Amino acid sequence: MRKHRLAVSRISFALPVCAGLLLALLCPPPSANAAPADPDAAKITLGTRSTRLASGLQVVLHEDHRTPIVAVNIWYHVGSKDEAPGHHGFAHLFEHVMFQGSKHVPEDTYFRDLERAGASDVNGSTAEDRTNYHETVPRNRLELALWLESDRMGFLLDHVDQQTFSGQRDVVKNERRQNYENSPYGMVPQFLAEALYPPLHPYHHLAIGSPEDLDAATLDDVKEFFRTWYVPNNATLVIAGDIDPEATLDLVQRYFGPIPGGPLPARLDQVTPPRVELAGDTRLEIEAGVELPRVIVAWVTPSYFAPGDADLDLVARVLAAGKTSRLYKRLVYDEQIAQDVQAFQASALLVSRFEIVATAKPGHTPEELLQAIQEEIQKLQSGSLEDPELARARTAFLADEAFGLEGVSERADRINSFAQYTGDPGYLPRDIARYEDATTKSLVDAARRWLPLDRRVVAIIRPVQGAPLCGRLVKRTP
């Protein structure tokens, strides 16, 4: 899972090309009527203008006149964590239903109308914490995109009937079959989630949902979910690109202003969710109809933007990003016992997880991989991290993030992520600082604090002929 973040570096060892690119991306040339540049404002920022409509809809604008396109990006602050027991999969279901039509948009014409207008990047996605929708259009078709988004926000239920609901429910169930139940190692993420998070925790189940809950759902259940969460005061609309701010706000007011807000239930980030604390070493034995064994080691880690989150991003890169990283060099290059290895900090609102995934080469076992992984983590925890190694990891990490901002659509999505997770669409400078301030000591401390070898979940996946391709859990200890 890719983390939503903006990050660049002003440290002395940063690549000049990277810094120049970021200045060009995030600080576009001022217009002829702009005031002289303030030397104190030379820090890299992502210029945004934020306001709220009377309904509570947050609107964030980002100007960039270099390309005649505009990205429209809306996040509804509802995800699988907000689903009630027995309603798992509703958030993801609505991602599909939202594209099927609304009161003034006929069935199955949403994509067609945008594509005819020259749109690109038309899609949506669902995660634990949010559901988003986005499209990038030529600047002269911004009004079309805003009208389409507002019509489904305000008038979706005027169109949705039993036929639409049943059809999209079948699509979601088929997506689950394709991506999980019929995919190599496909059900392993579910086994991990159930082991990492207690049964009542919002992250205990996957965003894809449960086929049993979807089958039991009624049209009235689904409509109530929409009325509860798909209201303007539970959404942030980011418009980024070649825009005139005042004219754009007028369009937003015209199309979204009449849509009323509504009362929101208490959110899980406003109350205390079930505590997540691994008491020991949990082992999952999984059989799968695959060719190669695999081992996954997972820990519960601090939430997005909390202390330690950025350090663990860099720890992941030190361990398994690039051919000179510790685990890749040892497992893949030197000992040649692994086909591949990766590590990542999967950040989320309530709590995050850190994972290391390694696939064995033929003739080697998950236990061999696990032993090597443990030894490399222990070396890191002992303090064996030098400044040049941190410098390489940080520069590469920030460069990857910088090049990910070339498109205005990506920038719009990052702005929305800042609004969701920090409450500040212009959080960029403080996000940068998290990586600039990281030290070898802070990385070692994070590895010691958050990656203990006696409090984790280890999944051992073994190839077994006749086992489901997706995997089956045969034993869990303790």
Query: Between these two residues, 5 and 278, which has the higher pLDDT value?
Result: 278
- Residue appearing with tokens 């045969």: 474
pLDDT at 27 over 90: no
User: 61 near 248, Cβ under 8 Å?
Assistant: yes
Q: How confident is the model at residue 222 (pLDDT cuts 50, 70, 90)?
A: confident
More confident site: 46 or 302: 302
Q: What local confidence, expressed as pLDDT, does residue 273 receive?
A: 65
User: What per-residue confidence (pLDDT) applies to 23?
Assistant: 45
Question: What secondary structure does DSSP assign to 115-141, as a single string?
Answer: HHTT-EEEEEEE-SS-EEEEEEEEGGG
- Buried b vs exposed e over 252-270: b needs ≥16 C-beta within 10 Å? beebbeebeeeeeeeebee
Considering the chain, what percentage of its residues have pLDDT values greater than 70?
A: 89
Rounded mean pLDDT of the chain?
89
Tell me the average pLDDT across 244-272.
Answer: 89
Helical H segments across 55-200, by residue range: 90-97, 110-116, 142-155, 162-176, 188-196
Cα gap 189→180, rounded to integer Å: 9
Cβ neighbors of 309 (< 8 A, separation 6 or more) are 301, 302, 303, 345, 347, 352, 434
Q: Look at residue 133 in the predicted model and tell me its pLDDT.
A: 97
Could you report the per-residue pLDDT of 63-77, keeping only the tens digit for each? 999 999 999 999 999
| CA distances (Å), origin 119, targets 141, 252, 409, 465 | 9, 19, 12, 47
H/E/C letters for each residue in 443-471? HHHHHHHHCCCCCEEEEEEEECCCCCCCC
**Please, are residues 343 and 320 in contact by the beta-carbon 8 Å criterion?**
yes
pLDDT band at 5 (very low <50, low <70, confident <90, very high): very low
Say what the pLDDT of residue 405 is.
79
Domain boundaries, the chain: 46-256, 281-410+423-477
Q: Is the peptide bond before 478 cis (omega within 30 degrees of 0)?
A: yes
**pLDDT tier, 3 (very low <50, low <70, confident <90, very high otherwise):** low
pLDDT > 90: what percent of the chain? Answer: 80
223's enclosing H/E stretch is helix 219-229
| pLDDT score of 29 more than 90 | no
Are the CB atoms for 296 and 356 separated by under 8 Å?
A: yes
pLDDT (tens digit per residue) in 307-317: 999 999 999 99
Question: Within a 10 A sphere around the Cβ of 71, how many other Cβ atoms?
Answer: 27
Same fold for the pair 46-256 and 281-410+423-477 = yes
Q: Which residues pair with 100 in a beta bridge?
A: none
Give the Cα separation of 477 and 460 in Å (integer).
12
Task: Note the pLDDT tens digit of each residue in 321-347.
Answer: 999 999 999 999 999 999 999 999 999
Q: From CA 344, how far away is CA 327, in angstroms rounded?
A: 13
pLDDT of 39: 39
Residue with token string 């979940």: 457
**What single letter denotes the amino acid at residue 346?**
A
The answer for 255, left when phi > 0, alpha when psi is -120 to 50, beta otherwise, is alpha
CA–CA gap between residue 321 and residue 319 (Å, rounded): 6
Greater confidence, 273 or 204?
204
Burial 123-139, CB ≥16 within 10 A → b, else e: ebebbbbbbbbbbbbbe
CATH topology of domain 281-410+423-477: Cytochrome Bc1 Complex; Chain A, domain 1 (3.30.830)
Contact 184, 466 (CB under 8 A): no
Q: pLDDT by residue (tens digit) across 408-421? A: 999 999 999 999 99
The whole-model pTM stands at: 0.89
What is the tally of helices (H) and strands (E) in the chain?
Answer: 16, 12
> What does the pLDDT average to over 426-453?
95
Which tokens hold the place of 148?
Answer: 């389409």
Q: How confident is the model at residue 101 (pLDDT cuts 50, 70, 90)?
A: very high
Give the contacts of 156 (CB within 8 A, at least 6 positions apart).
97, 98, 102, 103, 226, 230
Could you tell me if residue 210 is left (phi over 0), alpha (psi between -120 and 50 degrees) or otherwise beta? beta
User: 363-408: per-residue pLDDT in tens?
Assistant: 999 999 999 999 999 999 999 999 999 999 999 888 888 887 788 9
Each residue's pLDDT tens digit, 31-60: 333 333 333 333 567 889 999 999 999 999
Residue 1 is predicted with a pLDDT of: 38
Task: State which fold the 46-256 domain adopts.
Answer: Cytochrome Bc1 Complex; Chain A, domain 1 (3.30.830)
CA-closest candidate to residue 146, choices 241, 263, 34: 241
SS3 359: strand
In 3D space, the residue among 34, 118, 130, 114 whose CA is nearest the CA of residue 82 turns out to be 130
Inter-axis angle of helices 387-403 and 309-320, nearest 10 = 100
